[in-house]
Amino acid sequence: MARRSRAREVALQLLFQRDLNPTPVPRPAIERFTRERLLQDREMAAYCLALYDGTLAKQTEIDPKLTATATNWRLSRMLPVDRNLLRMAAYELLFDPAAEPIEVIIHEANELASRFGSADSPKFVNGVLDKIAKMRTAPATEGAPTGA
């Protein structure tokens, strides 16, 4: 498994745990878990924690976008794996300063959905992320007044 793929997997595990566990896990335990899972690879641990922290920091902006694009699905009704995978991938698509190619982000999300979600998860995740990706590629000036 590629290093970044593994880092995304660990970030998903952290997001899943946080979503389902009402008791916050202390930051040192999160960092220790990340280092252990990523075999002390400092670069990938930093990448993983940046995905985790970024997703949490932007969750209040991400969740309404997911609700709007996941037709007939409330976040609370989604499988927890799908919900957290969509949050993380939406963060990467819309806010991550590294700005990975759209195809890479969606492919990685589909791979994780195949491994950890239901049989329908990859198709669902792909459909939602395709709509989210269109938000990233939409012209930034759309609807902005034109001037001289």
> What are the pLDDT tens digits along the chain (148 aa)?
688 899 999 999 999 999 999 898 999 999 999 999 999 899 999 999 999 999 999 999 999 999 999 888 888 888 999 999 999 999 999 998 777 888 999 999 999 999 999 999 999 999 999 999 988 766 554 444 444 3
Query: 3-136 — its CATH code?
Result: 1.10.940.10
φ/ψ of 121, rounded to 5, equals: -60, -45
All structural domains of the chain with their residue ranges: 3-136
Report the b/e string of 90-104 with b at 16+ CB within 10 A: bbbbeebeeeeebee
pTM higher than the cut 0.75: yes
Q: What residue type is 32 in one-letter code? A: R
CA–CA dist 126, 130 (Å, integer)? 6
